[in-house]
């Protein structure tokens, strides 16, 4: 029988978001959201962590589910916890980033992504959630590689 716990304190939801750069670091992968919130807007692949997986497993799973990209290695960028970052409620994300050879990495929108593709960093559409903030941090991180 599974133990059930009741907590006095509310708990936040946890997500992983993934920034995938092209090998020359001039492009990133975005998905167009199929569902609310931000339906039709562009965002990084990502989603809610399942209770039976680690954050790293969540990032790898969400990336493949939404884009068909199989990640060899992702690096943790950091946690983003602004109070209003997700209109569905208190949600903290841990962002990851990676660099892939896009010639060997076809993208196919799947799951809750209406579309997916490569976008030049200096020609991005407006991003959903706080993904512009995440991108700024990811750009700083890859410049040091």
**Higher confidence at residue 3 or residue 58?**
58
Residue 8 belongs to a domain? no
Supply the pTM of this predicted model.
0.93
List the domain range (segments joined by +) for residue 90. 13-143
3-state secondary structure at position 45: coil
- pLDDT confidence of residue 58: 97
Residue 3 belongs to a domain? no
Domain count, the chain: 1
Residue 1 belongs to a domain? no
Identify the helix (H) or strand (E) that includes residue 124.
none
Given a contact cutoff of 8 angstroms between Cβ atoms, the answer to whether 94 and 14 are in contact is: yes
pLDDT tens digits for range 65-91: 999 999 879 999 999 999 999 999 999
- Burial status of residue 46 (CB atoms within 10 A of its CB: 0-12, 13-18, 19 or more): buried
Q: Residue 108's Cα: distance from chain center in Å?
A: 16
pLDDT at 102 over 80: yes
What token pair was written down for 132?
């512009």
What token pair was written down for 25?
């670091």
């Amino acid at each position: 029988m599974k133990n059930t716990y009741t907590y006095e304190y509310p708990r936040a939801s946890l997500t992983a978001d993934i920034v995938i750069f092209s090998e020359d670091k001039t492009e990133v992968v975005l998905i167009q959201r199929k569902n609310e919130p931000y339906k039709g807007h562009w965002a990084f692949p990502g989603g809610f962590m399942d209770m039976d997986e680690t954050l790293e497993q969540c990032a790898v799973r969400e990336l493949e589910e939404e884009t068909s990209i199989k990640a060899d290695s992702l690096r943790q960028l950091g946690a983003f916890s602004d109070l209003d970052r997700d209109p569905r409620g208190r949600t903290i994300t841990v962002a990851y980033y990676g660099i892939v050879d896009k010639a060997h990495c076809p993208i196919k929108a799947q799951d809750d992504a209406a579309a997916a593709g490569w976008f030049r960093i200096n020609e991005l559409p407006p991003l959903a959630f706080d993904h512009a903030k995440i991108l700024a941090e990811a750009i700083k991180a890859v410049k040091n590689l």
